[in-house]
């Protein structure tokens, strides 16, 4: 446990973050593709000073994210939303460089309001990559993007670019390569009229062993073939393995298996694992012979991190570090059960530790009425 740091807290390690950012920079330099950070995944702006050196800007899914991108990142701002309201549009045009609409009806309703900005439209190409139907952009009856190519052709004169966000944690280059070929074939005439195209996020190209050379060549092929600027929208790819959720064991009980209760929660602090039924990795303690369940402290029966085999039997006061706790954690944390919200800490590149944010009862109270 860090001196003077009270658990639970998210600990962002800038050295680990930098490893991902350097790969993104490599892709930018070799392929010519630009990368904008997906704020829906990670919006923790205390490390934006580092991230902006390696990224071209941000992409958002709401007015507030667009504003945060402008105020705290300060580079190119892509503003997308599944559904803009009139007041959203009135405000977002002050922050955005590109406004990307989700549907033809939204484009036609608001295009005159954002005249002068670069306009884009999300396209649903009917193909996708996802391990979960919940996150599949091309699932049956998907509301995400335009499917009618004739409508797209009619709107081309209003647009400067298209967004194809159709992947979720895709680490299969062959699949992505085939998908780019599919898009090139089916949307080629439209792409020739555009200035830019976004391939969205969900591409795990910072994973160890990913064929970066082939990836870069494919991106450059797409750019050269249609004379367009290619954008990527890394979320997880930018921040994977760059943070931990540091917790302390509050109690250990026995019900056929040893169960350690920590001072954090899956429901409140790592919600994606509960939503998708996945099990987070443990960064510390290391693996070993002691089988234990690690569980959260809320009243939800299923608030369980998982079952693990550890090198030490957990006791009251033991520290447990949950791995890969950056993406879709801090943006989704909530006040369920009125639990104390984890603080946010950063280990800077020089090794110094900084506690950048703590939350208290007043924060809990202000979120209600």
Whether residues 122 and 209 fall in one domain: yes
Query: Are 61 and 91 members of one domain?
Result: yes
Last residue of a domain, one of 239, 255, 277: 239
Pair (226, 253) in one structural domain: no
Looking at the structure, tell me whether residues 139 and 227 fall in a common domain.
yes
Is the same domain home to 166 and 257?
A: no
The answer to whether residue 87 sits within a structural domain is yes
Each residue of 5-48: pLDDT tens digit? 999 999 999 999 999 999 999 999 999 999 999 999 999 999 99
Q: Do residues 188 and 208 share a domain?
A: yes
- Domain assignment present for residue 4? The answer is no
Query: Is the pLDDT assigned to residue 2 strictly greater than 50?
Result: yes
pLDDT at 1: 47
Average pLDDT over residues 125-142: 95
Write down which residue in 183, 213, 239 finishes a domain. Answer: 239
Residues 356 and 213 placed together within one structural domain of the fold:
no
Q: How far apart, in whole angstroms, are the C-alpha atoms of residue 281 and residue 356?
A: 25
Is the domain of 225 the same as that of 254? Answer: no
Asked if 280 and 226 sit in the same domain, the reply is no
Q: 174: burial class by Cβ within 10 Å (0-12, 13-18, 19+)?
A: exposed
Residue that terminates a domain, selected from 207, 239, 271: 239
Please provide the average confidence, as pLDDT, over all residues in the chain: 97
Residue 232: its pLDDT value, please?
98
Looking up residue 301, the CATH number of its domain turns out to be 2.40.37.10
What tens digit of pLDDT does each residue of 153-197 get? Answer: 999 999 999 999 999 999 999 999 999 999 999 999 999 999 999
Phi-psi category of residue 351: left, alpha or beta, with phi > 0 → left and psi -120 to 50 → alpha:
left
Say if residues 89 and 114 touch (Cβ distance below 8 Å).
yes
SS (H, E, C) the chain: CCCCCCCCEEEEEHHHHHHHHHHHHHHHHHHCCEEEEECCCCCCHHHHHHHCCCCCEEEECCHHHHHHHHHHHCCEEEEECCCCCHHHHHHHCCCCCEEEECCHHHHHHHCCCCCCCEEEEEECCCCCECCCHHHCCCCCCCCCCECCHHHHHHHHHHCCEEECCCECCECCHHHHHHHHHHHHHHHHHHHCCCCEEECCCCECCCCCCCCHHHHHHHHHHHHHHHCCEEEECCCHHHHCCCEEEEEEEEEEEECCCEEEEECCCHHHHCHHHHHHCCCCCEEECCEEEEEEEEECCCCCCCCEEEEEEECCCCCCCCEEEECCCCCCCCCCCCCHHHCCCCEEEEECCCCCEEEEECCCHHHHHHCCC
**Does one domain contain both 295 and 252?**
yes
77 and 188 inside one domain: yes
- Quickly state the pLDDT bin for 3 (edges 50, 70, 90): low
pLDDT digits (tens, 9 = 90+) for 243-255: 999 999 999 999 9
- The CATH number assigned to the domain holding 147 equals 3.20.20.10
Answer yes or no: is 1 within a domain.
no
C-alpha dist (Å) from residue 26 to 21, 31, 33, 46, 239: 9, 8, 10, 24, 16
Q: 204 lies in which domain range? A: 15-239
Q: Is residue 261 part of a domain?
A: yes
Q: What is the pLDDT of residues 144-162, one digit of tens each?
A: 999 999 999 999 999 999 9
Other Cβ atoms less than 10 A from the Cβ of 182: the count is: 15
Kindly tell me if the per-residue pLDDT of 237 is higher than 90.
yes
pLDDT for 4 beyond 80: no
Whether 3 is in a domain gets the answer: no
Residues 6+ apart with CB under 8 A from 151: 104
For residue 9, is it within any domain? Answer: no
Which among 162, 160, 230 has a CA at the least distance from the CA of 195? Answer: 160
Please tell me the total count of domains within the chain.
Answer: 2
Is residue 6, in this structure, part of any structural domain at all? Answer: no
Same domain? 251 vs 221: no
The answer to whether residue 8 is domain-embedded is no
């Amino acid at each position: 446990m860090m001196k003077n740091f009270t658990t639970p807290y998210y600990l962002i390690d800038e050295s680990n973050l930098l490893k991902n950012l350097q790969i993104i920079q490599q892709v930018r330099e070799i392929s010519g593709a630009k990368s904008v950070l997906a704020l829906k995944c990670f919006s923790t702006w205390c490390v934006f000073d580092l991230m902006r050196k390696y990224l071209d800007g941000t992409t958002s899914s709401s007015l507030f994210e667009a504003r945060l991108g402008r105020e705290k990142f300060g580079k190119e701002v892509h503003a997308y939303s599944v559904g803009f309201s009139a007041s959203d549009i009135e405000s977002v045009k002050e922050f955005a460089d590109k406004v990307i609409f989700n549907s033809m009806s939204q484009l036609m309703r608001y295009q005159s309001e954002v005249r002068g900005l670069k306009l884009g439209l999300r396209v649903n190409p009917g193909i996708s990559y996802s391990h979960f139907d919940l996150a599949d952009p091309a699932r049956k009856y998907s509301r995400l993007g335009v499917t009618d190519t004739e409508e797209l052709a009619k709107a081309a004169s209003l647009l400067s670019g298209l967004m194809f966000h159709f992947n979720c944690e895709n680490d299969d280059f062959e699949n992505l390569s085939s998908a780019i070929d599919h898009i090139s074939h089916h949307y080629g005439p439209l792409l020739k009229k555009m200035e830019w195209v976004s391939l969205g996020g969900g591409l795990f190209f910072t994973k160890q062993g990913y064929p970066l050379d082939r990836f870069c060549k494919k991106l450059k092929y797409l750019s050269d073939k249609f004379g367009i600027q290619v954008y990527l929208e890394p979320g997880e790819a930018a921040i994977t393995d760059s943070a931990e959720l540091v917790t302390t064991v509050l109690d250990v009980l026995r019900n056929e298996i040893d169960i350690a209760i920590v001072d954090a929660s899956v429901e409140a602090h790592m919600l994606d694992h509960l939503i998708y039924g996945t099990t987070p990795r443990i960064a510390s303690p290391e693996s070993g012979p002691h089988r234990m369940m690690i569980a959260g402290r809320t009243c939800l029966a299923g608030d369980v991190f998982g079952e693990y085999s550890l090198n030490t039997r957990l006791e009251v006061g033991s520290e447990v570090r949950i791995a890969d706790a950056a993406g879709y954690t801090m943006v989704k944390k909530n006040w369920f059960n009125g639990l104390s919200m984890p603080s946010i800490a950063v280990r800077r590149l020089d090794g110094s530790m900084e506690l950048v944010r703590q939350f208290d009862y007043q924060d809990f109270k202000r979120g209600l009425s």
